[in-house]
Chains A and B, each alone.
Chain A
Amino acid sequence: MDETLIPAAPVNVAPQGPTASAWYGLLFLLATEAALFIYLLFSYFLLASQAPGQWPPDGVPEIQRPGANTVILLLSSATAWWSQRSIANGASGKLIVGLSLTLLLGCIFTGVQIWEWTHKSFSPASNAYGSLYFTITALHVAHVVIGLIVLACLIVWAALGRFSAKRHLHVLIGVTYWHFVDAVWIAVFTTFFLTPMLG
């Protein structure tokens, strides 16, 4: 029998943070979600590379509003990070403030996206570019909306006093998911708004 396998000190019950099963579960969920977006962006580049005429068909898209919206989403990642750091120090009031700010910024991002969709000169059925643009951005917004629901649940649970400096695994998971949604947007934004500028 190998005695080193069993530590002498009491081991952690229902571990929190990076040794919790749920944390690993989240990481693999994000891996498969990332793969989904990679395949969709692969589809964009495949169709772009095979396009017979100009790509995008209406020329390089206007970048100012989506660019500003990107800044809003990045800001929301900062507030999410701040709320997680607050609860790690036991400040549950700051946690609620931070989560609420994140929720607000996420709602603004979603509103701007909807405004963008309604002011495009093309529709999902116009051509392959339109199909790609609306499908990929809509799928991203669907992930943002799930993130907003997660944030709302976290705010309710925080208000009910379910989190402490020692036990706040749900906050870690919710905030990490939110960062992931941000990272996906960076990839989507780069694909649709920056790569066409390369000519």
Chain B
Amino acid sequence: MTNATQETVGGAEQADLARQWETSPGIRGWFSTVDHKEIGIRYLVTALIFLFIGGVEALVMRAQLAGPNLTLLSPEQYNQLFTMHGVTMVFLYALPMLSGFSNYLWPLLLGSRDMAFPRLNAFSYWVYLASGVFIYSTFWLGQAPNAGWFNYVPLAAREYDPGINIDVYALGLIFLGISTTAGAINFIVSLMRTRAPGMSINRMPILVWGTLTASVANLFAVPALSAACLLLWLDRQFGMHFFDPAGGGQPLLWQHLFWVFGHPWVYALVLPAMGIVSDALPTFCRRPLVGYTAVALATVTTMIVGFGVWVHHMFSTGLPGLSLSFFGAASMIIAIPSAVSVFAWIGTIWAGRPVFKTPFFYFAGFVLLFVIGGVSGFMTAAVPLDWQLTDTYFIVAHLHFVLLGINVFPVIGGLYYWFPKMTGRMPNEALGKLSFWVSFIGFNIAFLPMHLSGLRGMPRRIYTYPDHMGWNMANLLSTIGALIFAAGLLLTLYNLWYSRTRGAPAGPNPWDAATLEWSVPSPPPAYNFRRIPIVASRHPLWEDRLQDVHHRSVLDTDIALEDGRKTIATTVLDAEADAILRMPGDSVAPVMLSVALAIAFFSLLLNIWWLAGLAAVSGILVLAAWLAPVAPPTPAEERIRG
């Protein structure tokens, strides 16, 4: 075959694939798309909007706390703001942001054409969006949740909080849990079934390990929160007694259920972000990650131990000393897998030849913040110190160092890193570096002084404080730092917005990176890979220059599967091809089911029982149509070879 005929055949094949996989234009296409890249970007944009809202809430609170005895906010307004700030950042920003990265990247990293359940993927996004709208529905009426993001009873019981505020919290988090669970199942099954041939588990990028670990954990953690919220809502609506000591209930039951969920959740918020660093940092160090196997195992180990540390949030509740010792020890042990990862990143920088581009700065900054936040966490794992520091600004400092340090900094670095892949344009480098230094300096001015105000006894969640407590300077610094930090984040958003249309063209692999997503055009076509690749190492695009890689991945294979939406299925451990999956096309069922669920939850909130029932029945009808058996493959399809 001459080169010219090859070109023609390739062009026809691409046209076939594009026709099969591209979403139809217009409003129907917009609501029905199941393209994981489109859904991933929607996740990212929505989560960034929530980051912005939660950030504005934080700045208003910092303005109130800039000096003693300020009256910008009333106590009730302050309660709602700190609650919504926490709920927004922990639930509506941090995990969905990482789901956005993983949704966009997984099939590209794994050499597949879509996730295992494309429609479920769309469903999890729509439910996330709807639950975010739900949780914010009463904010504008001054009736937002107001008992803190961990919402302790009896403060959150009807007796002390009679409004609609806490009902929004309880139902909203059950609603969001549906999205998280659907997303988690999709990630796990995608991992088990939709990797390219040869992408065995010891070749998967660490981001995949991180998201897999977080997803498995979410399956077992989220039901604890859903159960807690259900019981609280029943207590409040129907006079039940789960948390009411007068009726035989226990307020501590809430704390157990919440933190059995909450602690694995905070690892779910950081492990995929650590995966971003483990995969992207080596690109800027011009060498593979040091200690791949150790980092992958550390990821899983962190989560397993993470299920046994929840009581460290409850050291001051009067539980028996033996239990405190056990949970304190488990909390300290977590430092070991964390340190393994930290040394792997440092080793990668040390042994590499760093290229100082914007993402590198964010990843290196992350390592430093992680160490500071890790050390303050290790300190509070010691029971006597925790008794002194619990519910002070020291804890506020610790949790912001870990959540911003390990989530936001890698996320911003990841945005700069994969932005060229998503848009085909390069972000502005000078503006990017400026955004890092402004963010990094602002962050430290904002949060380092909180250690001091905490050690000096300033309790968290107070709406103002008296003069002459020794807290004035630390608080003023925190407020100034918060403003600088916000300016840094805005610089990043401006950079991305501006570069989206005006950045330099990126080409397929602008960073000269090693993994599969950089082998396809930027932005990738709807079908991702014209031919399903066959993977022979962890670094398919670096094989020619690595000395210890003896096999060669094949990107231009003969696996075209251009007849209908199809991708290849492989075995779980070794990734040997064992089936061809027929993938569903675009569908409006996910958005319809999400609307039905939203109507059901709003009806429960407003006690309109008949409408809730009607919405449930409609949802079941949509689901029955969605899941109905499809026609079996034709004999011609059966003849396709692997």
Q: Using a CB–CB distance below 8 Å, which chain A residues touch chain B?
A: 1-2, 4-7, 10-15, 19, 21, 24-25, 28-29, 31-33, 35-36, 38-40, 42-43, 46-47, 50-52, 57, 124-132, 135, 149, 153, 157, 162-164, 166-167, 169-170
Partner of B227 from the list A1, A31, A36 (CB cut-off 8 Å) is A36
A13 near B579 with CB under 8 A, answer: yes
Which residues on B are within 8 Å of A, measured CB to CB? 116-117, 120, 181, 184-185, 188-189, 192-194, 197-198, 219-220, 222-224, 226-227, 230-231, 234-235, 238-242, 244, 247-250, 253, 256-257, 260, 534, 536, 551-554, 559, 569-570, 575-582, 620, 624, 627-629, 632-633, 637-642
- B633 touching A131, Cβ below 8 Å: no
Contact A125 B638 (CB under 8 A): no
Contacts known (A24-B193, A57-B248); A43 close to B576, Cβ less than 8 A: no
Bound CA span A14–B633, Å:
7
Contact B248 A39 (CB under 8 A): no
Q: CB distance B242 to A6 under 8 Å?
A: no
A43 touches B231 (CB 8 A): yes
Query: With contacts A14-B582, A28-B185, A29-B185 known, is A7 near B577, CB below 8 A?
Result: yes
Q: Looking at the complex, which one of B234, B553, B582 makes contact with A131 (CB distance below 8 Å)? A: B234
Q: How far is the CB of B190 from chain A (nearest CB, A)?
A: 8
In Å, the complex CA distance between A26 and B570 comes to: 19
Q: State in angstroms the CA–CA spacing of A22 and B570 once bound together.
A: 15
Which of B185, B582, B639: most chain A CB closer than 10 A?
Answer: B185
- The answer to whether residues A15 and B579 also contact, given A28-B185, A31-B219 and a CB cut-off of 8 A, is yes
CA distance A11 to B642 in the complex (A): 6
Using CB atoms, name the residue of chain B closest to A50: B250
A4 to B574: give the CA distance in the assembly, Å. 11
Verify A11–B578 contact, CB threshold 8 A: yes
Beta-carbon contact of A6 and B534 below 8 Å: yes
In the complex, the chain A residue whose C-beta lies closest to that of B638 is A13
Partner of B219, one of A1, A35, A125, A127: A35
Select one of A19, A130, A163 contacting B629, CB under 8 A.
A163
- Cβ of B231 to closest chain A Cβ, rounded Å: 7
Q: Which residues of B contact A1 (CB under 8 A)?
A: 534, 536, 551-554
Q: Which residue of B lies closest to A28 (CB)?
A: B185
**Cβ A19 vs Cβ B578 within 8 A:** yes
Cβ B241 vs Cβ A125 within 8 A: yes
Cα separation A40 to B215 with both chains bound (whole Å): 21
Instruction: Give the CA-CA distance A163 to B630 in the complex, in Å.
Output: 10
Indicate which residue in A12, A52, A153, A162 contacts B578 across the interface (CB closer than 8 Å). Answer: A12
| A52 near B260: Cβ-Cβ < 8 Å | no
B632 proximity list for chain A (CB < 8 A) = 14, 164, 166-167
CB atoms of A6 and B642 under 8 A apart = yes
Asked if A11 and B222 sit within 8 Å, CB to CB, the answer is no
Bound CA–CA A21/B186 (angstroms): 10
Starting from the known contacts A128-B240, A163-B629, 19 additional A-B residue pairs (CB-CB under 8 Å) come to A6-B197, A6-B534, A6-B559, A7-B577, A11-B640, A11-B641, A13-B582, A14-B580, A21-B194, A24-B116, A28-B185, A32-B181, A32-B184, A32-B223, A39-B257, A46-B253, A47-B250, A131-B241, A169-B629
A2 touches B185 (CB 8 A): no
Whether A128 and B249, one on each chain, are in contact in the complex, defined by CB atoms closer than 8 angstroms, is yes
In the assembled complex, how far is the CB of residue B247 from the closest CB belonging to chain A, in whole angstroms?
A: 5
- Min CB gap A139→B, angstroms: 8
Which A-chain residue is minimally distant from B220 (CB atoms)? Answer: A35
The reply to whether A7 and B181 form a contact with Cβ atoms under 8 Å apart is: no
Cβ of B248 and Cβ of A32 under 8 Å apart?
Answer: no
* CB pair B198 A131 closer than 8 Å: no
Given A39-B257, A39-B260, A40-B227, A135 and B116 touching (CB < 8 A)? no
Q: How far is the CB of A147 from chain B (nearest CB, A)?
A: 12
B227, A43: Cβ atoms closer than 8 Å: yes
List 4 tightest A-B contacts by C-beta distance, closest first: A128-B248, A131-B240, A36-B223, A11-B642
A4 nearest CB across to chain B (Å): 7
- Bound complex: CA A165 to CA B417 (Å): 50
Whether the Cβ atoms of B253 and A12 lie closer than 8 Å is no
The residue of chain B having its C-beta at the shortest distance from the C-beta of A163 within the complex is B629
> Which one, A5, A7, A21, A126, contacts B116 given CB within 8 A?
A21
B579 touching A24 by the CB < 8 A rule?
no
B248 x A47 contact (CB < 8 A): yes
A106 shortest CB reach to chain B, Å: 16
Partner of A10, one of B227, B235, B570, B638: B638
Q: Are B197 and A25 in contact (CB under 8 A)?
A: no
B581 touches A128 (CB 8 A): no
CB–CB A128/B576 < 8 A: no
Complex contact B579–A43 (CB within 8 A):
no
Given A31-B220, A50-B250, do A21 and B638 touch, yes or no (CB 8 Å)?
Answer: no
Note all chain B residues with C-beta closer than 8 A to A163: 629
**25 A-B residue pairings within 8 Å (CB atoms):** A1-B536, A5-B576, A6-B197, A11-B580, A11-B642, A15-B578, A21-B194, A21-B569, A28-B184, A28-B188, A29-B181, A29-B185, A43-B227, A43-B242, A124-B234, A125-B239, A127-B241, A127-B247, A128-B248, A128-B249, A131-B247, A131-B249, A149-B624, A153-B628, A166-B632
Q: Which of B120, B553, B629 contacts A170 (CB 8 A)?
A: B629
Q: Which residues of A contact B641 (CB under 8 A)?
A: 10-11
Residues of A within 8 A of B231 (CB): 43, 131, 135
Contact B629 A162 (CB under 8 A): yes
Contact of A25 among B116, B226, B570, B575 (CB under 8 A): B116
- Min distance, Cβ B203 to any Cβ of chain A, angstroms: 12
Using known A-B contacts A25-B189, A39-B260, determine if residue A135 contacts B581 with beta carbons closer than 8 Å: no
Which residue on chain B has the smallest CB distance to residue A160? B629
- A13, A46, A130: which contacts B633 (Cβ < 8 A)? A13
Q: Taking A21-B116, A25-B117, A135-B231 as contacts, is the C-beta distance between A125 and B248 under 8 angstroms?
A: no
Which single residue of chain B is at the shortest CB-CB distance from A152?
B624
A20 to B263, CA, bound (A): 33
Q: Is the CB of A52 within 8 A of B579?
A: no
Identify which of A36, A42, A50 gathers the most chain B CB atoms within 10 Å of its CB: A36
Across the two chains, which residue of chain B brings its CB closest to A34?
A: B223
B242: which of A11, A12, A47 is its contact (CB, 8 Å)?
Answer: A47
Instruction: Report whether A21 and B117 are in contact in the complex, using a CB–CB cutoff of 8 Å.
Output: yes
B226 touching A2, Cβ below 8 Å: no
Cα of A13 to Cα of B581 in the assembled complex, Å: 6
User: A12 with B580: in contact, given A35-B223, A125-B240, A157-B628 (CB under 8 Å)?
Assistant: yes
Known: A14-B581, A32-B220, A170-B629. A131 touches B640 (CB 8 A): no
Q: Chain A residue with minimal CB distance to B189?
A: A24
